[in-house]
Structure 1
Amino acid sequence: MLFRMIPPRRLVLAALLTLAGALPAGAAQEPYGGTVWGWRFTQDIERGRVICRAISSAPSTPGFIIQRLGNGNFFLSLLANGVPRGNYEEGHLGSGDFATMVNIRSDGSRIYIPADDHDMAQIGRTGRFEWGAGPVRGRTIRGQVNGMGFNDVVRRLRECTRANGGR
């Protein structure tokens, strides 16, 4: 008698909503461990990929995020309002006596700098890095970041990706 009063489409919708509520969330950032040197850590799955992030709360590096993907690649993400949207194939990343050419991407408010394990080891050695994107109106836009506990942050990101099935 009850089922005659509820249209079948509503029964199916109610069943699907109940099932969806029981499934794990696919794209919600979750914390990963405690803070280290003022860095907060999250873990996430986006488009089937593991992504672990370290988010700086230091006043000297507002908006600085280090991401490690499950495949082992890193991205350094910084606020960079002066860098117009685009790809800067002749960008650079450097630390101390180390420098490499990188393809820096800007969405107009943030830049994304790819890095590998070698780059991260070099940055960890000095605890700082410089970047450059350009040319923009004939010149290179440059920036510098000093980070506390950089090696500890990178170590935690590696632990996070491994704990989530990555490398």
Structure 2
Amino acid sequence: MKILGIDPGLRTTGFGVIHKQGNKLGYIASGTIKTADVDLPQRLKTILSGVSEIIRTYSPDCAAIEKVFVNVNPQSTLLLGQARGAAICALVGADLVVAEYTALQIKQAVAGHGRAQKQQVQDMVQRMLQLPGMPGPDAADALGVAICHAHSGDALSTLGGLAPELARKGLRMRRGRLVG
């Protein structure tokens, strides 16, 4: 399975493509989509076309993207959300299933704790994928998103597979608890 990870940004959007075979992860590609210092619609167009080109080049089976966190500056959060939206449009336009993860979930999956620094994430991504060199921060974050999905996808598939069996037994989840 090929997984495309996206770390959205208005100036720089990171991408990372990995493959998963059993429990083994492998590196395929990573990099960044950089936007020129132009108006917002042109930047969003660059992100949309850049992500679309990555999809055409690497043919991923699924995608994952980092969720936007609420920034101190609401305007920055809004702009980041628009960049994220452009990337998501390219992903769903290519009929990819898109998973979303918070920065905390990604850091937990890659570095083992949610308060990891950028350098720690870069180091762990390099080690986990056995890269010969250190990926740039945006590419490392995107690879981290893909790694998080590779690990989380198994758990979500298992839980999804249990739901029909629980329903047949007349059980369901309510407020995080199993009820009959």
One fold, TM greater than 0.5? Answer: no
TM-score (norm 1): 0.26
Find the structure with the greater CA-based Rg: 1
Of Structure 1 and Structure 2, the greater strand share is in 1
TM-score (norm 2): 0.24
Of Structure 1 and Structure 2, the greater helix share is in 2
Structure number with the bigger relative contact order (C-alpha 8 A, sep ≥ 6) is 2
